[in-house]
Structure 1
């Protein structure tokens, strides 16, 4: 339900009426209220949920733009919520975990989250990370120019792999490959300049935005998911190749 103590205000988007819908999910009432109240003060339209089942119900009702999701909850935990959420929503998901070492495991599960934060965290940092995600293009936004000025309306081919930036589709031997938003954005960035080596910092700036600050290992982990979905060998990838000491590039077309 919408927290009655939380007000919603305009974010000053196009026409001054754009309002970002945020869903905050945590079984700790005090933390949930603090996060919800802070996001509301920052101009978000906030809905809260105290457990996984309620979170999925609220997500279907309010269609949030971003979900702040605790991992450890009784019953349906955050991992399962994220998995189910990805079947009907393209909302940005930031997962909250109590231990830093859990992040590798969570990302390794490939549940489709866009970012991860460790408790305790600063509400100001959380908002900064959310705003960084919101600056990224949404599916169907119709944007035809990449962040570096590249034309994203041209279909790109690398052997049996086809990347259509405008439709945000990836096909391998005519089979549609299901990628999360972050996975697609990383692949789109690499394919925008074939054979050019990108550092992790460059990929972070392209995908998460120049104002993002966090663990650059997320690049490695998300690209690991992309490779598995493409059937790519991590040591000598046909499509996504590691450039030792630098970062990544697309393989020969």
Structure 2
């Protein structure tokens, strides 16, 4: 994948597991990316502060400087998009990471095809924020969407419910956007998978169900009565702007 200037996008991989660094780097290079490898957070912080990559993939659990602290320090000077690698039981770390400005997270063990798909999705969204402008060059072409109490700004990847911000991953954002574009219309799991996972990545039905569960939980943190995402058993999900 290339950046705006036509150069291959650079991906910073930060993990103390050298097997993961090597295997993921090989997979990314085969897809046309340039990789920068760091086995600890301190080395990554110095290098990425001086020269940010186009995107970072950070392990959370690392000695010397963990992924959360690395992201916190980088966010003081850079808005480089970041994907976290987490273990299955790290929901608290996931929440902290997203609140601090991470763009997405993937649970270990993970599919390299899934990671590559997430990287491509985030880079596409990052490019869309930077490039599309109106004729005056002032504002992104993509218009914010309002559905009842829901406000979505695709160009800035921002979501609000009743005026309160809700922090979503790229995947969650895409699923919600797909539902909210057509209020009352049922979207089956395959349609939601196509929206959230491009590049022919296969995920099973339970993955979409898990994302819907997380979406509801995040919205209920700002509104305990949130019910805008409805389940139609055997059919799929729909968004109700009355919810």
TM-score (ref. length: structure 1): 0.67
Are 2:106 and 1:116 aligned? yes
Structure 1 equivalent of residue 137 of structure 2: none
Structure 1 equivalent of residue 162 of structure 2: 173
- Residues 50, 203 of structure 1: CA spacing in aligned structure 2 closer, same or farther, 3 A cutoff? same
Higher mean displacement: 46-55 or 171-180: 171-180
Unaligned segments of structure 1, at least 5 residues: 1-10, 145-150
Structure 2 equivalent of residue 91 of structure 1: 81
Structure 2 equivalent of residue 199 of structure 1: 188
After superposition, where does 1:53-202 map in structure 2 within 5 Å? Answer: 53-78=42-67, 81=70, 89=79, 91-93=81-83, 95=85, 102=88, 105-106=89-90, 109-110=94-95, 111-112=97-98, 114=104, 116=106, 118-119=108-109, 125=113, 128-129=116-117, 132-133=120-121, 136-138=124-126, 140-141=129-130, 153=143, 155-158=145-148, 160-202=149-191
1:198 alignment partner, SS class: coil
- Residues 51, 157 of structure 1: CA spacing in aligned structure 2 closer, same or farther, 3 A cutoff? same
Are 2:27 and 1:48 aligned? no
Higher mean displacement: 193-202 or 131-140: 131-140
- Report the number of matched residues: 227
**Is the contact between residue 118 and residue 197 of structure 2 (CA under 8 Å) also seen in structure 1?**
no
Displacement, 1:220? 3.2
Structure 2: distance between partners of 1:249 and 1:96: 30
**Is the contact between residue 85 and residue 107 of structure 2 (CA under 8 Å) also seen in structure 1?**
yes
Structure 1: distance between partners of 2:222 and 2:118: 33
- Residues 24, 173 of structure 1: CA spacing in aligned structure 2 closer, same or farther, 3 A cutoff? same
Unaligned segments of structure 2, at least 5 residues: 134-140
1:231 alignment partner, SS class: helix
Instruction: Please identify which structure carries the higher helix content.
Output: 2
Structure 2: distance between partners of 1:90 and 1:248: 33
**RMSD over aligned Cα, in angstroms?**
3.9
**Is the contact between residue 68 and residue 93 of structure 1 (CA under 8 Å) also seen in structure 2?**
yes
**Is the contact between residue 144 and residue 154 of structure 2 (CA under 8 Å) also seen in structure 1?**
yes
2:36 alignment partner, SS class: strand
